[in-house]
Amino acid sequence: MVIPKSFDSGKDFESMLLTSILGTFIALKEDLISLRQAESYWLSDLTAEIFEELSLSEEIIALIQEGVQLKKLSQYSTIYDEMLDKLIEDSKRLIAQYYTEYDEANTGIIN
């Protein structure tokens, strides 16, 4: 993967954003940050609204909206952990799509 020095398109921005969102989910999973901290980073209704206004990918917005639900599930540890695992996997799947597209378009290399 090559990290662009500038954002040539919204796709570059979205791929970098997804990487950060994935990091937040992993940090939650590893108990490195609290749910409250994660809410201050990405997991809020306000973030989802801003992303909608910016016309970001519907998949990213849905990922954030699902992440917001973690607060409601936090009292149910098994369901919370399952949701967090799902969010991590969904984030990875989305990131893989972006970087595959980036590599194909810019280097001719396919992951």
Residue 17 within any structural domain of the chain: yes
Which domain does 78 fall in, by range?
10-102
108 within a domain of the structure (yes/no): no
Crossing angle of the two packed helices 10-29 and 77-106, in degrees rounded to 10: 150
55-81 pLDDT, tens per residue? 999 999 999 999 999 999 988 889 999
For residue 109, being part of any structural domain is answered with: no
Looking at per-residue pLDDT, the higher value among 70 and 102 belongs to 70
For residue 106 the two structure tokens come to 């810019």
How confident is the model over 10-47, as pLDDT tens digits?
777 898 899 999 999 999 999 999 999 999 988 999 99
Within-domain flag for 54: yes
Q: Is residue 1 part of a domain?
A: no
Confidence band of 9 (pLDDT split at 50, 70, 90): low
- How far apart are the C-alpha atoms of 90 and 26, rounded to whole Å? 12
| Contact predicate 25/42, CB 8 Å | no
- How many structural domains is the chain composed of? 1
Other Cβ atoms less than 10 A from the Cβ of 89: the count is 12
